[in-house]
Amino acid sequence: MDQIIKHSFEAVSLLTTARGRLDVTMIPAYNQPDWLIPSSLILAIDSYQQWTDHYLWQQQQLPVFHLQAPEQAVDKIIIIEGNTAKQRMALQTAGELRQIQLCISEVRDIVLPKHYQQTSTADSIADSTIETSYQGYQSHTSSEPTIERNALDNNAGDYQQLTEENIISYLLQTVMIDEQPYLIADLDKIAHQLLAAVD
């Protein structure tokens, strides 16, 4: 009989199950559903009240993806593990994080609600795109000129810009829990986007 090869661990996978349950953390987000992150991916939660594009954590400069608008107060940085140490990143947000255990049967796939799809220029996070975040991050990690970055579209061979104002660009799945929508972001894609111009 052939040996069964265990699938390699991918840190960005949400459905890491233990006895049919999910350990997840709900993270507040502006102008989009709150994010669901596997609790095991959260390396640290630091209090931090200043808007920043980079964050020094354990002697590693991490790019920051903002979940709040620039004019809003922020109060914490969440360090997220990547598939490698180099692919770690940070999320900046404000508000209470909720850690819960879910049965898989309690999670229902849904389409992203229309009011989140129709983001206008006036209420988008236009000033906090990932491009802006990257420029600030790069200025602290390299003297190389900034290179325009694009994210690989998962459904085609073309590239599209990944921005914090464009939910669709990093949406992996939207789910419903207790009649409340939550967003599962493509963390691997965001990390890849942040690192693409460094290499």
Q: pTM for the full model?
A: 0.70
Question: What is the chain's mean pLDDT, rounded?
Answer: 74
pLDDT value, residue 104 = 80
Q: Which residue has the higher pLDDT, 150 or 92?
A: 92
Residues 6+ apart with CB under 8 A from 167: 32, 112, 116, 117, 119, 183
Query: Residues 164-192: what's their mean pLDDT?
Result: 87
Using CA atoms, how far residue 94 sits from 32, 171, 195, in Å, is 14, 21, 25
pLDDT value, residue 79 = 97
- What are the pLDDT digits (tens) for 16-49? 555 678 899 999 999 899 999 999 999 999 999 9
Question: Cα–Cα distance between 34 and 11 in angstroms, integer?
Answer: 20
Look at phi and psi of residue 99 and say left if phi exceeds 0, alpha if psi is from -120 to 50, else beta. beta
Dihedral angle at the C-alpha atoms of 146, 148, 152, 153, nearest 10 degrees?
140
pLDDT value, residue 14 = 52
Asked whether the predicted pLDDT for residue 139 surpasses 70, the reply is: no
The closest alpha carbon to 184, from 118, 134, 109, 133, belongs to 109
Question: Cα–Cα distance between 183 and 175 in angstroms, integer?
Answer: 6
Q: Which residue has the higher pLDDT, 142 or 167?
A: 167
pLDDT value, residue 96 = 95
pLDDT value, residue 161 = 54
pLDDT value, residue 34 = 95
Structural contact between residues 151 and 159, judged by C-beta atoms closer than 8 angstroms? yes
Return the DSSP state at 27: E
pLDDT value, residue 121 = 34
Query: Residues 120-137: what's their mean pLDDT?
Result: 40
Asked whether the predicted pLDDT for residue 103 surpasses 90, the reply is: no
DSSP letter string over 95-114? S--EEEEEEGGG-EEEPPPH
Q: Which residue has the higher pLDDT, 178 or 1?
A: 178
Residue 65's DSSP bridge partners are: 91
pLDDT value, residue 119 = 54
